[in-house]
Chain A
Amino acid sequence: EPEVTQTPSHQVTQMGQEVILRCVPISNHLYFYWYRQILGQKVEFLVSFYNNEISEKSEIFDDQFSVERPDGSNFTLKIRSTKLEDSAMYFCASSDSRKVHFGPGTRLLVL
């Protein structure tokens, strides 16, 4: 069965640095998402992307965050200037219907 893949699996960065989290959604899917889970907390919606533009974003997704689909297969989440509170597992997901498939996540640690 096709899977959503994410790279890197782990990322450690210094506060204030930029990070780019990469995702390859399932190839025929049209909807793409980023979610995050801070340790011990629930899975939180960040942003959804459809037809090459953001369709919805949460309050968490402020100006420090951006998403891009640079080449028709990759879907990236950029955090421009990381903060300590950005430390979390970041999950990419994609769907072609109501069933959303998640990637394995990228664990981001901001020091």
Chain B
Amino acid sequence: DQQVKQNSPSLSVQEGRISILNCDYTNSMFDYFLWYKKYPAEGPTFLISISSIKDKNEDGRFTVFLNKSAKHLSLHIVPSQPGDSAVYFCAATWRDDKIIFGKGTRLHILP
């Protein structure tokens, strides 16, 4: 049962353009959402998060949008840079003791 779904396994974006990574969830109990970035052979690193009481959170080039009615969130990266090439995991939680991850989307930033 996939509670957090990332339906695009990979995405290619031109350097300088906007990267949009999408995530859907099924559990309406989730109240906190996170995006993690992962390079090969490294652990996931926290990128940005959003509480369910908000619909947008921005941190530099990264913005996360939350649409609770659609159970959908997205991560926007503007402008995309070569170092953004990585796997991005969407995650959700409703308690402090478990985070549920999506399968990840591999982002390729093209020169």
Binding site for B on A (CB under 8 A): 4, 31, 33, 35, 41-45, 48, 50, 55-56, 91, 93, 95, 97-105, 107
Contact with A along B81-100 (1 / 0, CB 8 A): 00000000100010011111
Whether the pair A43, B96 counts as a contact (CB closer than 8 A) is no
- Give chain B interface residues in 58-100, CB to chain A under 8 Å: 89, 93, 96-100
Whether the pair B96, A103 counts as a contact (CB closer than 8 A) is no
Whether the pair B97, A48 counts as a contact (CB closer than 8 A) is yes
Whether the pair A4, B43 counts as a contact (CB closer than 8 A) is yes
The distance in angstroms between the C-alpha atoms of A78 and B101, with both chains bound, is 23
* CB-CB under 8 A for A45 and B99, given A102-B44, A102-B45: yes
Q: 6 closest pairs, A vs B, by CB?
A: A102-B43, A48-B97, A42-B103, A43-B101, A55-B97, A102-B44
* CB-CB under 8 A for A56 and B98, given A41-B103, A42-B103: yes
The contact of B97 among A4, A56, A105, by CB within 8 Å, is A56
Q: Which residues of A contact B36 (CB under 8 A)?
A: 102
The contact of B99 among A97, A100, A107, by CB within 8 Å, is A100
Q: Which residues of B contact A102 (CB under 8 A)?
A: 36, 43-45
Whether the pair B46, A100 counts as a contact (CB closer than 8 A) is yes
The distance in angstroms between the C-alpha atoms of A103 and B104, with both chains bound, is 18
Q: How far is the CB of A88 from chain B (nearest CB, A)?
A: 13
Whether the pair B42, A104 counts as a contact (CB closer than 8 A) is yes
Q: Which residues of A contact B41 (CB under 8 A)?
A: 104-105, 107
Whether the pair B45, A98 counts as a contact (CB closer than 8 A) is no
Q: Which residues of A contact B99 (CB under 8 A)?
A: 33, 45, 100
Is B19 on the interface with A (CB-CB < 8 A)? no
Is B22 on the interface with A (CB-CB < 8 A)? no
The distance in angstroms between the C-alpha atoms of A93 and B38, with both chains bound, is 14
Of all chain B residues, the one with the shortest Cβ separation from A95 is B96
Whether the pair A45, B43 counts as a contact (CB closer than 8 A) is no
The distance in angstroms between the C-alpha atoms of A103 and B32, with both chains bound, is 21
Whether the pair B98, A99 counts as a contact (CB closer than 8 A) is no
Q: Which residues of B contact A104 (CB under 8 A)?
A: 41-43
